[in-house]
Homo-oligomer: A and B are copies of this chain.
């Protein structure tokens, strides 16, 4: 290689993104109630938005993680009674996931707890600045997702 990787702008860019993901995920999890984690919250969020009745694979694809990772996360949520998982009547290989009332409560409480954290960050970084950068991030995400498959 002729150039140092530090001089590679894409490398620096992805490096910043990696550290931000780490630090922000950590900061948010620290204020979440009841040992809730980001992956767990994201699944609850997904079920709330879409109204449940999702298959594990659909959720895994939406989160862009492997099925194995989703098996793990759904297991935690189910053991905490925040979701309910039932066999799919039409397809013996598949399952259906729904959020429970306790799950809805935990979801709402988590959003509440996250409020001050987002307020602080949104104050430091107004929406206008985020809006400028978001299209690049979305494109990059799509490119990486396409390349993965």
- A89: CB under 8 A from chain B? no
- CB contacts (< 8 Å) of A131 on chain B: these are 9
Q: What is the 8 Å Cβ interface bit string for chain A, positions 5-37, against chain B (1 contact, 0 not)?
A: 110111111111111111111111000000000
- A138: CB under 8 A from chain B? yes
Whether B130 lies near A17 (C-beta < 8 A) is no
Q: Smallest CB–CB gap between A98 and chain B, Å?
A: 19
- A91: CB under 8 A from chain B? no
Q: Smallest CB–CB gap between A21 and chain B, Å?
A: 4
Q: What is the 8 Å Cβ interface bit string for chain A, positions 76-120, against chain B (1 contact, 0 not)?
A: 000000000000000000000000000000001001101100101
Chain A residues bordering chain B, tally (CB within 8 A): 61
- CB contacts (< 8 Å) of A138 on chain B: these are 16
Within 8 A of B (CB), among A108-149: 108, 111-112, 114-115, 118, 120-122, 124-125, 127, 129-134, 136-141, 143-145, 147-148
Known contacts A9-B127, A38-B18; A144/B64 CB under 8 A: no
- A53: CB under 8 A from chain B? no
Whether A23 lies near B125 (C-beta < 8 A) is no
Q: Smallest CB–CB gap between A1 and chain B, Å?
A: 5
Given the complex of chains A and B, what is the CA–CA distance between A118 and B138 in angstroms?
18
- CB contacts (< 8 Å) of A129 on chain B: these are 136
